[in-house]
Amino acid sequence: MQKKANVLFIMADQLRYDCLGCNGSQAVKTPRIDRLAAESANFSSFFVQAPVCVPSRQTFFTGMYPRSHKNRVNYTSMDRDIENRLMQRHFKREGYNTAFAGKLHYFPPAREYALSTGFDDGLIHDGAGETDKYSDYAEWLRQKGAMPEDGSYRACRADKLNPYTAVLEDKYHETTWCGEKTREFLQKLSKKDEPFFLFSSYWKPHSSFEVPEPWASMHNETEIKMPEKVPKEYFDSLPRALKTFALRDGGDYNMPDEELAWQYRAYYGAISQIDREVGQTLDLLDELGLRDDTIVIFCSDHGDVMREHGMTGKNTFFDSSVHVPFMIRYPGTVVPGVYDQLTESTDVLESLFSICGFKPPYSGQGGDFSGLITGSGKPYAEREYVFAENIIPEVITGKPDPLTGERAGKDFYFVKNRGIKGVRHPDAKMIRSRKWKYNYYAGEEELYDLENDPEEMRNMAADPRFADIRDKMKTELLNRLVTADETGQIAPAWYIVKDERGEWGNFII
């Protein structure tokens, strides 16, 4: 019997599609990921289903849309039913050894809980300050005597040209730790007879932007092309929830170019640091003789707008938030090349299982692109649209006042049927074709012509010349909403069987 394929799943956090050399960047140095891309099916039109960590990651791992797996915002607990549908649980049922290193973003954010979801082993680091008491990385820093006295391992040095130069040395940085622990697990798993599923999950290049040397100074001389500044009046053209998000704490639209340029330089350096770790992990895979037996995935959970549209972070439907890198390598099976078909993260679980040779779970809501990239002849239905959705928690959060410690916006005055401070908690939806993008907020719409306005600056939803297109996109969005949950509503099969008393009955499986 042919041995099942191993799976090495590598995920970065908040990595834009256009910030890899293989995807067109002239500034960011990613030679190892570029080499992986050249050996992979590299998807150039891959979109996540939520522009924020937890809902996006859960979609990758369940094949379900956020409204179906219900983890709509960060640090929300999973339903037991969803726990049973996680990727690692399925691999475990197929006889795989399973492990993880790095960020999971589960709740509770503890290693013990993660191990109850289908992982045999793992080391966790979610990277948010309130989760550090659960972090294996934070404990490792303390054991090494490298944890700063105040616990601020993300502090920056004041004596460097790049103001985002980390206090920590490279050897103690979380990116280095994640790469090293990934390789330790790889060594362990390679000695077992069973196939393995290993999830390697980096916190970076997620903000804050601190990065250690030599990466911090890598781009000191790099000229950064600044996103176009927008006047404050621009935000009046946005849906109210998005405007509230953009202007929280005064907004970032007036951030000085010099400060933003250093953020970009640090962001680029953090990506190159991940590139080193990915390269060393792939080198080890080769040394262990596992290259031809292992499926390798590299991707990101979402992007970062980096002051485009006068905003920072994610949580928007602009392509810089929802368009991410995704590549998959499996020598002898996956045909390398650039694939520009519209693809969703809902498609990953089903496609991966298909390539592995076992039946995808019934609950998955995505498609199967394995026939596209393997030449197997398996039917492949190209998408006409991709979908995303988002609740923007930032409409009710704010930075603490430096004097009082109070959070100006985080008061959570929710009034049923009215929202928070008059803003309906924005369960926004997006549908995108190659040419058009339509976003729907509570009673507000956006329509962008991506061919003639790729920066998504001119909302055409209220223009009567485009009313037919707007209505067509809205109908497609509605169709998606009323059909996507079919697998959760309709049983896979009805069987008529005899029960233990010899009587006939119907059982749903």
**The CATH number of the domain where 435 resides is what?**
3.30.1120
* Domain endpoint, select from 362, 383, 404: 383
The whole-number average pLDDT for the span 286-305 is 98
Does residue 250 sit within a domain?
yes
pTM, rounded to two decimals? 0.93
Does residue 124 sit within a domain?
yes
Tokens describing residue 291: 């290259």
Does residue 13 sit within a domain?
yes
**End-to-end CA, the chain:** 29
Instruction: Identify whether residues 38 and 172 lie together within a single domain.
Output: yes
Instruction: Identify whether residues 342 and 393 lie together within a single domain.
Output: no
The whole-number average pLDDT for the span 259-266 is 97
Beta carbons within 10 angstroms of residue 92's beta carbon: 17
The model's confidence at residue 241, banded by pLDDT at 50, 70 and 90, is confident
Domain range for 205 is 6-383
Does residue 318 sit within a domain?
yes
Any idea which of 68-82, 136-150, 277-291, 332-346 has the lowest mean pLDDT?
68-82
Does residue 77 sit within a domain?
yes
Instruction: Identify whether residues 43 and 83 lie together within a single domain.
Output: yes
In percent, the amount of the chain with pLDDT more than 90 equals 78
User: According to DSSP H, which parts of 45-126 are helical?
Assistant: 53-62, 66-69, 80-83, 87-93, 111-115
The model's confidence at residue 429, banded by pLDDT at 50, 70 and 90, is very high
Residue 311 belongs to domain with CATH number? 3.40.720.10
Amino acid at 183: R
According to the model, what pLDDT value does residue 49 have? Answer: 98
| Angle 54-132-250 from CA coordinates, rounded to 5° | 65
The model's confidence at residue 504, banded by pLDDT at 50, 70 and 90, is low
Distance CA 102, CA 199 (A): 8
Beta carbons within 10 angstroms of residue 35's beta carbon: 16
Does residue 508 sit within a domain?
no
Instruction: Identify whether residues 206 and 248 lie together within a single domain.
Output: yes
- Number of domains making up the chain: 2
- Cβ distance 358 to 94 under 8 Å? yes
pLDDT at 498 over 70: no
According to the model, what pLDDT value does residue 506 have? Answer: 46
Does residue 500 sit within a domain?
no
* Residue 502 burial class via C-beta count within 10 angstroms: exposed 0-12, middle 13-18, buried 19 and up: exposed
Distance CA 23, CA 20 (A): 5
Instruction: Identify whether residues 392 and 362 lie together within a single domain.
Output: no
According to the model, what pLDDT value does residue 408 have? Answer: 47
Instruction: Identify whether residues 318 and 417 lie together within a single domain.
Output: no
C-alpha dist (Å) from residue 23 to 18, 29, 31, 108: 6, 11, 12, 36
Instruction: Identify whether residues 395 and 342 lie together within a single domain.
Output: no
Instruction: Identify whether residues 151 and 235 lie together within a single domain.
Output: yes
According to the model, what pLDDT value does residue 247 have? Answer: 86
pLDDT at 420 over 70: no
- Cβ distance 379 to 417 under 8 Å? no
pLDDT at 51 over 90: yes
* Domain endpoint, select from 383, 417, 452: 383
* Domain endpoint, select from 355, 383, 411: 383
Does residue 501 sit within a domain?
no
The model's confidence at residue 74, banded by pLDDT at 50, 70 and 90, is confident
Q: What is the 3-state secondary structure (H, E, C) of 136-153?
A: HHHHHHHHHCCCCCCCCC
Spell out the residues 6+ positions from residue 504 whose beta carbon is closer than 8 angstroms to its own: 496, 497, 498
Place of tokens 């080499």: 35
Mean pLDDT of the chain: 91
Any idea which of 62-71, 274-283, 480-489 has the lowest mean pLDDT?
480-489
According to the model, what pLDDT value does residue 61 have? Answer: 97
Picking from 338, 449, 313, the residue whose alpha carbon sits closest to that of residue 24 is 338
Picking from 46, 52, 53, the residue whose alpha carbon sits closest to that of residue 18 is 46
- Cβ distance 78 to 71 under 8 Å? yes
Distance CA 170, CA 188 (A): 25
According to the model, what pLDDT value does residue 509 have? Answer: 32
Instruction: Identify whether residues 110 and 140 lie together within a single domain.
Output: yes
Instruction: Identify whether residues 238 and 283 lie together within a single domain.
Output: yes
Instruction: Identify whether residues 361 and 427 lie together within a single domain.
Output: no
Instruction: Identify whether residues 372 and 433 lie together within a single domain.
Output: no
The whole-number average pLDDT for the span 319-346 is 98
pLDDT at 427 over 90: no
pLDDT at 219 over 50: yes
Any idea which of 36-50, 208-222, 230-244, 290-304 has the lowest mean pLDDT?
230-244
